Structure 1
Amino acid sequence: MFRYARFFIGPVFFTGVSLLMVLGHQWLWLPGFLLILSVVLFDQMLSHDSVDQPYAHSGILDFALYLSLPAAMTFFFMLFWVAGSGTQDPFGYGAFVQSLTGIDVIAARNDTAWYHYALMFVILALPATGIGGLAGHELTHRTADPFALWLGRITMALNWGIAFPIEHVYGHHAYVGTMKDPATAARGDSLYRHIPKAMRRTVVNAWEIEKARLDKVGKPFLSLNNVLLRMALVAAATSAFAFWCAGWTGLLFHGIVCCSTKVVLEALNYVEHYGIVRVPTQPVQPRHSWNCNHVVSSVFTYNLTRHSHHHADAQVHFQDLHAHAEQPSMPGGFLAAILSSFIPPLWRRMITPKLLEWDRTQADRSEFPLIRAANQASGWPELQQSVANNAAPVQAVPQGGLGY
């Protein structure tokens, strides 16, 4: 039974974290901090999950995914409520909580120091990305299921994630490991160098993909047939709701969360694909992304940690992904890798041995020219020890094969 119940932990816990925000002060960030700390620690303490046992009742797990939308909506309402001041009380929620608990939450909100809000934005970026971005990611891959696809796009549009569902499904999975892929960071690129390029390329790719689709079916680009424009309407409606709840402060809070969750999503992509290369004409294989079989991270990311299988077959539902324990694994576990990526010297120290191992045990000889060029461009002397650097002389690199 726990095999099914564990995938409900994410939306249930995050809803609880969101509802506690009404108490103000440390309750804006402490529950989220404890959640993140628990995931990192238990990932290190528990053995890896390499069991590939099928699930007989997939509909139960689909429902766990569907809960992501109400969980995300709860978070955004609570965010806009705590952004208020004075007597602002959207839908009378503060008065309702006081009638139930006797706690004057409006007074608590108005008395909360600024630094608690600053910590809230930093801490909640990770779980907010998880409940909205990662559940939405899984749902938008279900292109044969109109309801799941709609739900995933709506969930991601709440925080202005309108380009990702299009580019990721129809672009990234085809381009991974090449320079056209926004998510594949080049060797030597820090997270801070990678993010601006990734954001720009994601938007450009998404508009190109959607325009090509509309041209193919003979529909005008500037119309409601454009999925990107429909998602933008949902995003704009969310921003308008933020303004209605708390004025300009609500709009500012929404903007900060949208930006921070986008940064976290790019950091996630950064650690999942860092430095891996692929000859553009060759098929995507499990070895072309970093894998992770840490138990707790798998629960909160809907098995996105089993990234190798996800890229080998993007239509496989999360509960059916195989562990692929023999594939290259990211350093330290999912959340540990993401957090370390924000400290470039630490990330460099952690990822370099992994890159050298990938070159030695996973790379195909046809990829050696790409690896040599990438190692040279990185400026990291330690990568010159790669087995690819000591192989045949560098050949012409196929266009699109160097990452950035």
Structure 2
Amino acid sequence: TEHVRGHHMRVGTADDPATARFGERSDRFFFRTVPAQFRSAWRLETKRLGDTAMRWVDPRLLRSRVVHGLVVEWSVALGILALLGPGAFVAYLVQALIAVRLLEAVNYFEHWGLARSARRVGVDDSWDTDSWFTLYTLVGLSRHADHHAHAARPYQQLRYFDASPKLPYGYFGSVVLALFWGRRLQTLLTNELSRRRLGPFAECPAPDAVASAAATAQLGVG
């Protein structure tokens, strides 16, 4: 719901909760994006059902995909609690939290610092990597620029574009940097944006403006 009808439509804009802003740290992005994506998904579903002001007790919510997902997830969690006990229940919640944290670490650098206005999504609106290890272990996820520019293309046909900004490492290395050495990752990404004149450097600002933007990223403001 949110990924296809929200993120893909608004990627690279201020309205997209899954696009990390220039200078935004990974931890701040995580605490901002998770509730914001849920709110976005909820609004998209209530709009689909005909009333964005729908109350929680509205019977139409029984047809909400967000509600369906919540019911399934908590049914599994409560089933584990009933069948395996509180220890297994806590372990299940912890692994779910870790999974979401890793997912959002990937979301963090896939569009970090990139900006798009009214134009169509292009291959320069997502970060790519040519890491063969990432490509094969994550089943084409690293061809993210093509995935957004041509969303209907099957994953096995996704292409690599020289025009897209390039991550300094594959996804596995970038996740480690995002979680533990965020300032280093931001510095590397800022250098790539500056080199390609993307994000805050898209208008080819004066050298002092470039230096100011780079300093902002290194401080992790956002």
For the pair 1:168 / 2:6, whether they are aligned, the reply is: no
1:303–1:319: 8 Å Cα contact kept in structure 2? Answer: yes
1:349 deviates by 3.0
1:293–1:325: 8 Å Cα contact kept in structure 2? Answer: no
1:177 deviates by 0.9
* Letter aligned with residue 272 of structure 1: E
Q: Which has the larger radius of gyration?
A: 1
Separation (CA, whole Å) in 2 of partners of 1:319 and 1:325: 18
Indicate the structure whose relative CO is greater, using CA pairs within 8 Å and at least 6 residues apart. 2
Match of 1:303 among 136, 140, 148: 140
Alpha-carbon distance change, 353 to 221 in structure 1, aligned in 2, over 3 angstroms = farther
Q: Counterpart of 1:254?
A: 92
1:223 deviates by 3.5
Greater helix share, structure number: 1
For the pair 1:192 / 2:31, whether they are aligned, the reply is: no
Alpha-carbon distance change, 221 to 178 in structure 1, aligned in 2, over 3 angstroms = farther
1:227 deviates by 0.8
Q: Counterpart of 1:381?
A: 215
CA deviation vs aligned residue, 1:368-393 (integer Å, no higher than 9, x gap): 39x89xx79x864277xxxxxxxxxx
Q: Counterpart of 1:245?
A: 83
CA deviation vs aligned residue, 1:342-399 (integer Å, no higher than 9, x gap): 122221232221121231xx5799x539x89xx79x864277xxxxxxxxxxxxxxxx
Matched residue SS, 2:63: coil
1:243–1:250: 8 Å Cα contact kept in structure 2? Answer: yes
The 4+ residue runs of structure 1 with deviation greater than 4 A are: 219-222, 362-365
Separation (CA, whole Å) in 1 of partners of 2:95 and 2:131: 27
Q: Counterpart of 1:37?
A: none
1:259 deviates by 1.1
1:183–1:198: 8 Å Cα contact kept in structure 2? Answer: yes
Alpha-carbon distance change, 223 to 348 in structure 1, aligned in 2, over 3 angstroms = closer
Q: Counterpart of 1:201?
A: 36
Separation (CA, whole Å) in 1 of partners of 2:32 and 2:61: 28
1:255 deviates by 1.0
Separation (CA, whole Å) in 2 of partners of 1:329 and 1:301: 17
Q: Counterpart of 1:112?
A: none
Separation (CA, whole Å) in 2 of partners of 1:297 and 1:241: 35
Provide the aligned length of Structure 1 versus Structure 2: 209
1:214–1:221: 8 Å Cα contact kept in structure 2? Answer: no
For the pair 1:283 / 2:117, whether they are aligned, the reply is: no
Instruction: List aligned pairs for 1:243-392, cutoff 5 A.
Output: 243-279=81-117, 281-342=118-179, 343-359=181-197, 368=203, 380-381=214-215
* Letter aligned with residue 329 of structure 1: K
Q: Counterpart of 2:17?
A: 182
CA deviation vs aligned residue, 1:283-319 (integer Å, no higher than 9, x gap): 1111111011211211122201001100101111101
* Letter aligned with residue 296 of structure 1: F
1:275 deviates by 0.4
Q: TM-score, normalised by structure 2?
A: 0.84
1:183 deviates by 1.7
Separation (CA, whole Å) in 2 of partners of 1:174 and 1:340: 28
2:123–2:163: 8 Å Cα contact kept in structure 1? Answer: no
Alpha-carbon distance change, 233 to 382 in structure 1, aligned in 2, over 3 angstroms = closer
1:222 deviates by 4.4
2:128–2:165: 8 Å Cα contact kept in structure 1? Answer: yes
Cα RMSD (Å): 2.6
Structure 1: state its 5+ residue gaps. Answer: 1-165, 384-403
* Letter aligned with residue 213 of structure 1: R
Match of 2:70 among 198, 220, 232: 232
Separation (CA, whole Å) in 1 of partners of 2:154 and 2:18: 21
**What is the identity percentage for the equivalent residue pairs of Structure 1 and Structure 2?**
24
1:221 deviates by 5.8
Alpha-carbon distance change, 322 to 364 in structure 1, aligned in 2, over 3 angstroms = farther
